[in-house]
């Protein structure tokens, strides 16, 4: 759902999402190396919105697209500044040049600039570590811009990792044109462990019915498993007894019927997940507060995956408005 505001463009992670949002947004970047087998969907979306932006990182995709695109698209060249997942290594100048050579003569593809996701900041736990990665990313990208700005005077730089975008000072982003911190919308337990946010910045919770109570073990069983949360986990080194591997943290509801929540409950957390089950450790002090059929609110470890799985029954605001049933 699009709200009024200054944001004119969005980034998504699949063409399926881009198509979903294409009825309300006119400038959409799919931040995943283009899958050329989806050419029909690319042509469909680019016939509908004025600015579909895709990512390339090899000449094979550039050649295929040149032969098969039917409408203009924007193209970001994906660069790897040390994360080691996708992108051309930032110092592999010849490979970058060969991709740019293809784009320069293209009928359909307009080169936008260099795009990076320095996801190795997700492994950091201090601001200093995040800053170090960010500065290395910045230096590599500014060098690339310098090298190619004669040929492409409008080329832009786009970064995307949520930790850097969340906690570094504005001065660290000089020279960049775009930020795409996807996890910024909701945050989650993982980002709070990294230090990108505080626990009370987390803006999404999963409401899970309690289906079983096991007093001998001090555990509740939820209808809320891997198909609802994903199986992302985090090693939580909090100051309370929730330390260790966990899959979600339980929060206090404001009142029994409220959709709003408050702080996390010390020592109460999602200990393990099966396909449909979630196992929650419960401190004895709050054991009697939870009954069969109550809804427990759980902050997810990875909100992107949790929000993207389709097994939830609805998607409510804290005022009870059902966003899942609205047109996008």
Examine residue 211 and tell whether it contacts its own copies (CB under 8 A): yes
Q: How far is the CB of 223 from its own copies (least distance, A)?
A: 5
Site for its own copies in 234-263 (CB under 8 A): none
Site for its own copies in 31-50 (CB under 8 A): 32-37
Q: For residues 35 and 71, which CB has a smaller minimum distance to its own copies in the complex?
A: 35
Examine residue 277 and tell whether it contacts its own copies (CB under 8 A): yes
With contacts defined by CB under 8 A, name the span among 18-26, 58-66, 281-289, 317-325 that binds its own copies. Answer: 58-66
With contacts defined by CB under 8 A, name the span among 97-105, 159-167, 248-256, 269-277 that binds its own copies. Answer: 269-277
Size of the site for its own copies (CB under 8 A): 46
Which of 1, 149, 185, 212 is in the footprint of its own copies by CB under 8 A?
Answer: 212
Q: For residues 264 and 269, which CB has a smaller minimum distance to its own copies in the complex?
A: 269
CB 177, CB 113: distance < 8 Å? yes
Q: For residues 217 and 321, which CB has a smaller minimum distance to its own copies in the complex?
A: 217
With contacts defined by CB under 8 A, name the span among 101-109, 135-143, 216-224, 249-257 that binds its own copies. Answer: 216-224
Which of 5, 153, 256, 293 is in the footprint of its own copies by CB under 8 A?
Answer: 293
Spell out the SS3 assignment of the chain.
Answer: CCCCCCCCCEEECCHHHHHHHCCCCCEEEEEEECCHHHHHHHHHHHCCCCEEEEEECCHHHHHHHHHHCCCCEEEEEEEECCCCCCCEECCCHHHHHHHHHHHHCCCCEEEEEEEECCHHHHHCCCHHHHHHHHHHHHHHHHHHHHHHCCCCCCCEEEECCHHHHHHCCHHHHCCCCEECCHHHHCCCHHHHHHCCCCHHHCCCCEEEEEEEEECCCCEEEEECCHHHHCCCCEEECCCCCCCEEECEEEEEECCCCCCCEEEEEEEEEEEEECCCEEEEECCHHHHHHCCCCCEEEEEECCHHHHHHCCCCCCCECCCCCEHHHCCC
Which of 150, 284, 291, 317 is in the footprint of its own copies by CB under 8 A?
Answer: 291
Examine residue 328 and tell whether it contacts its own copies (CB under 8 A): no
Q: Which residues bind its own copies (CB under 8 A)?
A: 13-14, 32-37, 57-58, 60-61, 64, 84-86, 89, 119, 209, 211-213, 216-217, 221, 223, 226-227, 230-232, 274-277, 279, 291-293, 295, 304-305, 308-311
């Amino acid at each position: 759902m699009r709200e009024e505001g200054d944001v004119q463009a969005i980034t998504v992670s699949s063409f399926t999402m881009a198509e979903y949002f294409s009825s309300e947004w006119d400038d959409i970047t799919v931040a995943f190396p283009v899958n050329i087998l989806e050419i029909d969907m690319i042509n469909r979306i680019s016939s509908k919105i004025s600015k579909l932006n895709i990512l390339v990182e090899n000449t094979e995709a550039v050649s295929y697209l040149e032969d098969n695109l039917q409408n203009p698209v924007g193209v970001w060249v994906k660069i790897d500044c040390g994360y080691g997942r996708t992108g051309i290594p930032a110092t592999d100048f010849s490979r970058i040049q060969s991709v740019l050579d293809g784009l320069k003569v293209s009928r359909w593809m307009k080169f936008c600039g260099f795009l990076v996701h320095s996801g190795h900041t997700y492994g950091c736990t201090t601001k200093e570590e995040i800053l170090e990665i960010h500065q290395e990313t910045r230096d590599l990208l500014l060098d690339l811009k310098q090298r190619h700005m004669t040929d492409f005077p409008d080329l832009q730089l786009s970064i995307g990792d949520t930790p850097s975008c969340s906690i570094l000072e504005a001065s660290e982003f000089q020279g960049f044109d775009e930020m795409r911190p996807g996890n910024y919308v909701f945050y989650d337990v993982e980002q709070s462990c990294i230090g990108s946010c505080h626990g009370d910045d987390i803006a999404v919770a999963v409401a899970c019915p309690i289906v079983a109570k096991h007093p001998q073990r001090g555990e509740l069983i939820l209808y809320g498993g891997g198909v609802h949360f994903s199986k992302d986990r985090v090693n939580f080194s909090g100051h309370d007894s929730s330390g260790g591997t966990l899959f979600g943290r339980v929060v206090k509801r404001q009142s029994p019927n409220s959709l709003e929540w408050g702080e996390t409950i010390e020592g109460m957390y999602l200990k393990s997940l099966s396909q449909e089950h979630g196992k929650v450790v419960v401190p004895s002090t709050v054991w009697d507060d939870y009954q069969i059929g109550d809804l427990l609110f759980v902050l997810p470890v990875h909100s992107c995956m949790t929000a993207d799985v389709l097994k939830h029954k609805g998607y409510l605001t804290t005022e009870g408005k059902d966003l899942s049933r609205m047109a996008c």
